[in-house]
Amino acid sequence: MKYDAIVVGGGISGLTAAAFLAKAGQKVLLCEKESRCGGLVNSFERDGFVYDGGIRALEDSGVLFPMLRSLGIELDFEKNHISLGVENHVIRVNSEEDVDNYQALLTNLYPESREEITEIVRQIRKIMHYMDVQYGIDNPIFLDFKEDAAYLGKVILPWMVKYAITAPKIAALNEPVVDFLKKFSQNQSLLDIISQHFFHATPAFFALSYLKLYIDYYYPLGGTGVFPAKLVSFIEEHHGEIRTNTKISSLDPTNKVLTDEKGNRWEYERLIWAADLKTLYKIINPAEIPDNKFSQAFTARKEELRGMTGNDSILSLFLGVNLPKEYFSNIATEHFFYTPSKAGQTQAGEIPATAERETVKNWLDKYFALTTYEISCPVLRDPALAPANKTGLIVSVLFDYQLTKAIELAGWYEEFKSYCETQMIATLSTSIYPGLSEAVIHQFSSTPLTIESYSGNFQGAITGWALDNDPIPAENRIPKIMNAVKTPIPGIYQAGQWTYSPSGLPISLLTGKIAADQVIKDLRKRK
């Protein structure tokens, strides 16, 4: 069977690419290794509780809603409200003006650093203004130049002038957020509290704009899994083909043939790789690329990626509790970043270099008492997502893949998971949620190894490449994002979180659309 285009990877980027290819009338096949599509955008049900298995809410950033409108897909959304809490101090982030409340929160915690906090918040306000420019419009990638001509003339062109002025200022803030903050304070606890719920080495411009980004999150009624389900339906309605449980084992770029583990073969004119990027370079034999120029470029890229590491992963605790949703809404909103101690995560010490039980458990005790928890209550957005008078919680912390892998190899992985669950519940029960431990109906957890197995992502990374890779093996200049989807092999494009950094849902959608546009352009030229 021969296709105009094959998309490998049924995560949100691959689904986006396949949807736009199908909309354009191309004969498209999407291959996904799991039994269903969605990747880290998914929901599942357990005993009447609906949980989001990956991303907790959807960020617009001028990308999500234009993408849905372009495809004609309708989804019912609730605004996703975010709270920030440290110890017994909790603020709700409803608008940009809440930066004042954030400043007050920090000042209450660290009165000795009042002047430093004032300057840091001044920097936050400045960066938020830059983000107003960067994300303040509907991304033109999803606009129709004929249908949206008025918008392009009245909005896009003036915006381009503002962006040209702002882009260099954003680029100058590309250093890790902690390094940036150290210019204004040496209070390590303060620096931890501001930065520890971000990935290691997150650029300052991205991290310090979060109060702006937090008011741009939405939750689809029914759970985040409704979103990929809509894309699957769209692709199939437009005569695209989806094959799940299909893991690609080899790729012949010369003859343009894909083969899966079961021996099935498919031919393609163009290919979009929206799966784990290192896997792409594993399944292609450079010797099968007859053009020496392309073979050398491919080999060089493969070697470049060899030593690169994935970004942070997460450990998640799923709880069904015998407490009504009002118990939680009286404390915080449906999406809550909570830190039980102002001491700061640095006090826990370095991640253990050994998987020895007592060493790891001693560190975990400190880590869970100090780290920042991302807590999501789906039922506060949609009452149908939990049984009556009960609440489902998803509680996540950033967690190291290598340590988790070492524990598995040491033979106490299940004990480790149970220990983490117990410590996380105990920490929350003795701080922000009194009585939580007595109300637990069921509990289970996922680790970086779970994410690696389910998503196929190298090292269980949830947002592509580690931000301290030097250099980061992905494009990170907004003006160059159109080129980010190219690979060293003609006719093969890449899309998703490994393509652009820092990554997230908007980048996955954006690169999926850009890759699809490139393929459509190529195919029309051939015809």
Please name the residue ranges forming H helices in 226-323.
226-237, 277-283, 292-306
Say what the pLDDT of residue 212 is: 86
Question: DSSP assignment, residue 205?
Answer: H
Band of pLDDT at residue 262, cut at 50, 70 and 90: very high
- Residues of the chain by 3-state class (helix, strand, coil), percent to 5: 45, 20, 35
Give the SS3 label for residue 40: coil
Say what the pLDDT of residue 447 is: 98
Instruction: Work out the number of other CB atoms within 10 angstroms of the CB of residue 161.
Output: 9
Model confidence over 414-423: pLDDT tens digits? Answer: 999 999 999 9
Parts of the chain belonging to CATH 3.90.660: 312-455
Q: Which residues contact 355 (CB under 8 A, 6 or more apart)?
A: 403, 406, 407, 409, 410, 412
| pTM as predicted | 0.95
Over range 35-57, report the average pLDDT.
Answer: 96
Over range 11-32, report the average pLDDT.
Answer: 98
Over range 188-216, report the average pLDDT.
Answer: 92
Q: How far is residue 85 from each of residues 90, 329, 331, 345, measured CA to CA in Å? A: 4, 14, 10, 15
User: Which CATH fold would you assign to the domain 312-455?
Assistant: Polyamine Oxidase; Chain A, domain 2 (3.90.660)
Q: Strand pairing partners for 241?
A: 29
Over range 59-87, report the average pLDDT.
Answer: 96
Find where tokens 């009624």 sit.
Answer: 221
Say what the pLDDT of residue 178 is: 96
User: Which CATH fold would you assign to the domain 2-42+63-71+223-309+466-526?
Assistant: FAD/NAD(P)-binding domain (3.50.50)
Say what the pLDDT of residue 477 is: 76
Three-point CA angle 228, 231, 234, nearest 5°: 155
Q: How far is residue 41 from each of residues 14, 51, 75, 105, 483, measured CA to CA in Å? A: 12, 11, 15, 32, 25
Which range has the worst mean pLDDT, 78-92, 93-107, 287-301, 434-448? 287-301
Cβ atoms 136, 159 nearer than 8 A: yes
Q: Closest Cα partner for 7 from 196, 214, 273, 209?
A: 273
Over range 285-313, report the average pLDDT.
Answer: 89
Band of pLDDT at residue 211, cut at 50, 70 and 90: confident
Model confidence over 424-476: pLDDT tens digits? Answer: 999 999 999 999 999 999 999 999 999 999 999 999 999 999 999 988 888 87
Model confidence over 466-510: pLDDT tens digits? Answer: 999 988 888 877 778 888 999 999 999 999 999 998 889 999 999
Say whether pLDDT at 135 is over 80: no
Q: Round to whole Å and give the CA distance between 359 and 495.
A: 40
Percent of the chain with pLDDT over 90: 81
Over range 268-282, report the average pLDDT.
Answer: 96
Q: Round to whole Å and give the CA distance between 76 and 249.
A: 38
Say whether pLDDT at 193 is over 90: yes
Model confidence over 440-450: pLDDT tens digits? Answer: 999 999 999 99
Q: What is the dihedral of CA 523, 524, 525, 527, to 10 degrees?
A: 90
Band of pLDDT at residue 140, cut at 50, 70 and 90: confident
Instruction: Count how many Cα atoms sit within 13 Å of the Cα of residue 238 in the half-sphere of its side chain.
Output: 23
Q: Round to whole Å and give the CA distance between 93 and 390.
A: 25
Parts of the chain belonging to CATH 3.50.50.60: 2-42+63-71+223-309+466-526
Q: Closest Cα partner for 185 from 120, 123, 121?
A: 120
Q: Closest Cα partner for 457 from 200, 274, 217?
A: 274
Say what the pLDDT of residue 527 is: 62
Query: Six-digit token pair at 390?
Result: 């009960």
Say whether pLDDT at 329 is over 90: yes
Band of pLDDT at residue 148, cut at 50, 70 and 90: low
Q: Over the range 260-296, which residues count as b (16 or more CB within 10 Å of their CB) and which as e?
A: beeeeebebbbbbbbbbbbbbbeebebeebeeeebbe
Q: Closest Cα partner for 162 from 127, 134, 126, 204?
A: 134
Percent of the chain with pLDDT over 70: 99
Say what the pLDDT of residue 414 is: 98
Say whether pLDDT at 314 is over 80: yes
Element (H, E) at 104: helix 99-109
Q: Is the peptide bond before 471 cis (omega within 30 degrees of 0)?
A: yes
Model confidence over 511-524: pLDDT tens digits? Answer: 999 999 999 999 99
